[in-house]
Amino acid sequence: MSLVFNEEQRSLKDTARGFVQANSPVESLRKLRDSQDSVGFSRDVWGQMVELGWGGIIFPEAYGGFDFGVKGLAACMEEFGRTLLPSPLLSSVALSGSVILQAGNETQKQELLSSIASGELLVSLALEEGVRHNPVAISTTAVRNEGGYTISGSKTLVMDAHVADQLIVVARTAGQPGDHDGISLFLVDAGAKGVMISKTHLADSRNYARVTFDKVAVSDSALLGEAGQGFAPLDRALDVARICLAAELFGGVQEAFERTVEYLKERKQFGVLIGTFQGLQHRCAHMYTEIQLCKSLMMDALSALEAGKEKAPALISAAKAKISETAELVTNEAVQLHGGIGVTDELEIGFFMKRARVAQLLLGDAHFHYDRYARLEGF
């Protein structure tokens, strides 16, 4: 399998890097946070991203996309991680779009994916019900009635829910929490009667919300795929989002490491550059080797996913777990090696730590993915 991006993917990656450097440096996230922006991202920047085709990058041309593949999207996400760009790309395209692509019928794909790709529609996945990722621990219910279903329950950590037009709700039509069978997927209008969305604030200054469903009525046409058979397509879609989130996290890790190395080359103590201290060099060398291992794991997982390999889910879990652990190592070291100013808000290095801590937990932390890897490998 190829462990490097091809020429087209590298060109796309270069375009993404130039775009974020010109339009969304880390300072943009600071301004959004300090102004308590109600949207949480720049709609102007998002509009430009859509014009560049990133809203439909993984969708087939038949559904208004460009069919550039997950590897192309991950290449962009890596660059977006370097400037901590906030956008609905992960929630609406990589995650919700993948769910529709995997579970939706032809009519749903035609109607929804083209609207997502054009930026006309924002969709969020309402999955989690606890503080940690567990896609089978679903107790939200969808009760069958004449002509449709009634959904009741609550969700947490729903990305971009407060700006979403529609929600994909993971609910149980049969079985008990923990069962793979009995999980169903429903499209719900974010403004429907009985839907209550409350924005929450986390350390990374991104958009999350708690969503409550109080006897929300939906028609049969709201069902994505077959009733009770939603876990398999959901898991495939989650893997797309997991590796894209891992790529974003990896981009932030590289940026934090490079900024730290540059600081060590400039900072002096008692007239001596601290980058000449052997102890600090050893710490940087350790980080560098871990980052290179992460790169190999990420590229291996992306190649396996695009090739449809059976081992792709296990490799994606391995990549997400290792990158999450390395993100904790590198961001901790970055803050510490910057010294006292590393913990101040005025220095941007702290923003990378805050994003890393949340991204480590989203869509499964290292413990979840090591366990999943072991199970998939038969341990």
Q: pLDDT digit string (tens) for 184-239?
A: 999 999 999 999 999 999 999 999 999 999 999 999 999 999 999 999 999 999 99
Which residues touch 272 (CB under 8 Å, ≥6 apart)?
Answer: none
Separation in Å, CA 349 to CA 179, 257, 263, 343: 42, 10, 11, 8
Predicted confidence (pLDDT) per residue in 248-264, tens digit? 999 999 999 999 999 99
HSE-up (13 A, CA, CB side) for residue 194: 13
What is the structure's pLDDT at 340? 85
**Mean pLDDT value across the chain:** 96
pLDDT of residue 345: 92
Res 147: pLDDT: 86
- Write out the two tokens for 217: 């009525």
Residues contacting residue 306 through CB under 8 Å, at least 6 positions apart: 69, 70, 71
Mean of pLDDT values over 323-347: 95
Q: What is the pLDDT of residues 268-309, one digit of tens each?
A: 888 999 989 999 999 999 999 999 999 999 999 999 999 999
Q: pTM (2 decimals)? A: 0.96
Residue 151 CA to residue 140 CA, distance in Å, equals: 7
Query: What does the alpha-carbon distance between residue 236 and residue 246 come to, in Å, rounded to a whole number?
Result: 15
Angle between helices 26-34 and 69-83 (to 10 degrees): 70
The domains of the chain, with CATH numbers, are 7-121 (1.10.540.10), 124-228 (2.40.110.10), 232-376 (1.20.140.10)
Percent of the chain with pLDDT over 90: 94
Which pair of structure tokens corresponds to residue 134?
């567990």
The pLDDT score that the predictor gives to residue 110 is: 95
Q: Which residues contact 341 (CB under 8 A, 6 or more apart)?
A: 347
Q: For the residues 70-79, what does the mean pLDDT come to?
A: 97
Beta bridge partners of 141: 152, 172
| Cross-strand bridge partners of residue 189 | 166
pLDDT (tens digit per residue) in 170-179: 999 999 999 9
pLDDT given for residue 2 in this prediction? 67
Summarised one tens digit per residue, pLDDT across range 240-249 is 999 999 999 9
Taking the C-alpha atoms of residue 74 and residue 207, their distance in angstroms, rounded to an integer, is: 21
pLDDT (tens digit per residue) in 115-174: 999 999 999 999 999 989 999 999 999 999 988 999 999 999 999 999 999 999 999 999
Report whether 323 contacts 298 (CB < 8 A): yes
Whole-number pLDDT of residue 1: 58
Angle between helices 312-337 and 278-306 (to 10 degrees): 160
pLDDT at 101: 97
Q: Per-residue pLDDT tens for 1-58?
A: 567 888 999 999 999 999 999 999 999 999 999 999 999 999 999 999 999 999 999 9
pLDDT at 363: 98
CB atoms closer than 10 angstroms to residue 138: 28
Where does residue 206 fall: left (phi above 0), alpha (psi -120 to 50 degrees), or beta otherwise? beta
Strands 123-126 and 166-172 come out as: parallel
Cα–Cα dist 76/248, whole Å: 8
